[in-house]
A and B are shown apart, each in its own frame.
Chain A
């Protein structure tokens, strides 16, 4: 069954702790994205990657880090430097070609502070 798998569904972080959110896809898409969604706000882009071993900062990259060692995987680490990490985190992919491709989303990870 093709799609995007985000895990865990719920995650709790202690003060000063780094946590990593997983995003795996089997759609064979090159581009992958991480968004943060807060109540009453739209999706804000954290990081994105257009190809393996390459990634770019989005609009709110501070306090986050990513890696793209495999095409299928794009993990997001929320570091202790992110002072307000409580949010709904969404991973997305996009297929080949620019300009007219929809994005496909996972079902998110909800991160809370203990």
Chain B
């Protein structure tokens, strides 16, 4: 069965630095991978999607990479701000198994220290 590991349960960084979160997966080859942000007591909010044939995707201060050889996605937040503090989840599709749904990782809780 699919397995997703996100690098660490919690990550603390100084304001202004770049935060890098890792998502590794095994036993599957997704067609695409998504990243979500979740604040305490709220539902996740979609941030970025990257397809298997894309190496990199950017949106404002966010950047996602997708290495299908390493089976890894990296999520970067540049010039981080305290408002970026949240839990970040990666998710991969399971469409090649015939299931129209996503498989989520456990998330990394990011804290940006002023």
A interface residue numbers (CB < 8 A to B): 4, 31, 33, 35, 40-45, 48, 50, 56, 58, 90, 92, 94, 98-100, 102-108, 110
Contact = CB atoms under 8 A, between A and B. Distances in A.
B114 interface: no
Contact of A48 (B46, B49, B100, B107): B100
Contacts, number: 59
A31 B9 CA distance: 30
A50 B100 contact: yes
Given A105-B45, A108-B43, A31 B100 contact: yes
B106 A99 contact: no
A102 B43 contact: no
Interface of B: 4, 9, 31-32, 34, 41-46, 49, 51, 89, 91, 93, 95, 99-107
A107 B43 contact: yes
A92 B34 CA distance: 15
A44 B105 CA distance: 9
B113 to A, nearest CB: 22
B32 A99 contact: yes
B104 A106 contact: no
Nearest to A108: B43
